[in-house]
Amino acid sequence: MDDQAVTACVLIIGNEILSGRTQDVNLNHIALTLGEWGIQVREARVVPDVESAIVDAVNYARTTYDYVFTTGGIGPTHDDITADCIARAFDVPIVINDTIAELIRQRPAPPDVMEARMRMARVPEGAVLVDNATGGPPGFRVDNVFVMAGIPGVMQAMLASLDGKLRRGAVVRSRSVTAFLGESQIAGALREIQDRYPQVDLGSYPFFRKDRYGTSLVMRGTDETLLDEMLEAVKAAIIEAGETPQDVHHG
């Protein structure tokens, strides 16, 4: 769509997502937030808590996209292996980060609990910390890989702390309109409109509401003039098919 785009891949790390125990909501939040910042999520992977799987996914993603965002696996228990995997992916040792260690020592605890907590101070050598406004241990960044918590509230705080610190591309804007038409009733017109505006991505999403089939048409691109032109063309196609364009939305 745009060769100057800044791209990202999201890696959701955790067996609990793959088993179905937990419904992931982090990808959606990250995609919306990065979108506002002019960074396009081009791929996402859900990876199990298995070292080789995480290392391979990180190495693929960091060499393919501008940025990588991981969620999950940075707590104090035995199944939290993300930091070790990132270190292995970059082939650097794990070190104790003094800032995190100091933060952890500020809350008193018995020796065995403190030892477990100190696991969260272990980061790959060269890592830069990512703030955690919820008060817990921070996430970290190595090169173009950002490592965040899996708990949605904590992840969101970490991501928010990156606002203004990342490279931005043109923001992808959208136009959308719905009609109580089956997709097939406007498929021909949509194809012709898409061909006419190759720089804008035209998506067609059927829905069923109020006992009727309908279709949402969503246009996404960086050029607002083209978006507006395409929206008018789609609205005209809906009218041509005998229906009324509804719920026009500019995003």
- Return residues touching its own copies (CB under 8 A): 15-25, 27-32, 35, 40-49, 53, 75-80, 109, 112-117, 119, 151, 153, 172, 174, 182-185, 187-188, 190-191, 194, 201-208, 218, 220
Nearer to its own copies, 125 or 192 (CB): 192
Q: Is the dihedral of CA 71, 75, 79, 83 positive or negative?
A: positive
Measured from the CB atom, is 125 or 205 closer to its own copies? Answer: 205
91 or 195, CB closer to its own copies?
Answer: 195
Residue 91 vs 208, nearer CB to its own copies: 208
51-64 and 82-90 helices cross at what angle (nearest 10)? 50
Do the Cβ atoms of 67 and 61 come closer than 8 Å? Answer: no
Nearest-approach distance from CB 45 to its own copies, in angstroms? 5
DSSP 8-state code for residue 123: E
Cβ burial, residue 70 (10 Å; 0-12/13-18/19+): buried
Phi, psi of 152 (to 5 degrees): -55, -45
The length of the chain, given as a count of residues: 251
Minimum CB–partner distance for residue 145 and its own copies (Å): 18
How many Å apart are CA 85 and CA 150, to the nearest integer? 16
Beta strands 201-209 and 246-250, pairing class: unpaired
* Nearer CB in complex with its own copies: 4/91: 4
Question: Please, what is the minimum distance in Å from the beta carbon of residue 123 to its own copies?
Answer: 17
- 101 burial (CB, 10 Å; 0-12 / 13-18 / 19+) is middle
| Residues forming beta bridges with residue 176, ordered by sequence position | 218, 249
Q: Which is nearer to its own copies, 44 or 142 (CB)?
A: 44
Q: How far is the CB of 131 from its own copies (least distance, A)?
A: 19
Residue 163: CB minimum distance to its own copies, A: 16
- Shortest Å, Cβ 90 to its own copies: 22
